[in-house]
Amino acid sequence: MTSLQVTRMVSARIPTAVGEFQLILYHNNHDDKEHLAFTYGEVENCRDVLVRVHSECFTGDVLSSQRCDCGEQLHRAMQQIAEAGRGVVVYLRQEGRGIGLLDKLRAYNLQDQGYDTVEANILLGHQADERDYTLAARILEDLQVLSVRLLTNNPDKIERLKALGIPVTERVPMRSTVNEENLAYLSTKKQRMHHLLELTGLTGSIERRHHGNGTHRFLAGGS
């Protein structure tokens, strides 16, 4: 099997509300998607670089959907990187935890029927999480980042990047704003996918949603 390789195609200056970044577009020999690195300051041959490995979320990143915390995490990561004076957002084109936009929207409809995000993916014939971070590792190697402080609440992401040869020296937590629309989603990430989340900002009792397979319970508030 051919090893995965990335090729840096072009870099352009992108001024943003939080500072001036460089956007680097990569091609690779694995898929036909255009994966990206958004860099701030000098990162080459640097240690403990603040890094966010972010999987594409069209609904959250572009449309500011309230159903998830993805767009908020992307913009919060950019702000923290700019404040640190150096860092990288690796933007991977793997929508919906790797299942694509079509099935992500189908999963949303199943969630509206009372299934959680894990159950919805499985009902559609997918795994709970199909993301692959090999491209992120290759991009960080191309940028010559020596070690990273990873902006994430997902311990699995840390372990998988380490297994791919990326030294992770620290986990930097990402705060999520809880609302009525994303509460069940965030609770599922915490309870079923073991994300390190503090679900504060919304209080209440357990909400019950019914469907043909029984009652599903979503924790409202607390940690």
Residues marked active site are found at 129, 131
Task: Report the phi/psi class of residue 5: left, alpha or beta, with left for phi > 0 and alpha for psi in -120 to 50.
Answer: beta
For 166, residues 6+ apart whose C-beta sits below 8 A from its C-beta are 136, 137, 140, 141, 145, 147, 148
As separate numbers, helices (DSSP H) first and strands (DSSP E) second, the chain gives 7, 9
Dihedral angle of Cα 6, 11, 13, 15, to the nearest 10 degrees: -20
DSSP per-residue letters across 143-210? TTB--EEEE-S-HHHHHHHHHTT--EEEEE-------TTTHHHHHHHHHHS-------S-----EEEE
3-state secondary structure of 45: coil
**CA pair distance 51, 37, nearest whole angstrom:** 10
Joined together, the tokens standing for residue 46 give 């640097």
Six token digits for residue 94: 């793997």
For residues 159 and 45, what is the distance between their CA atoms, to the nearest angstrom? 22
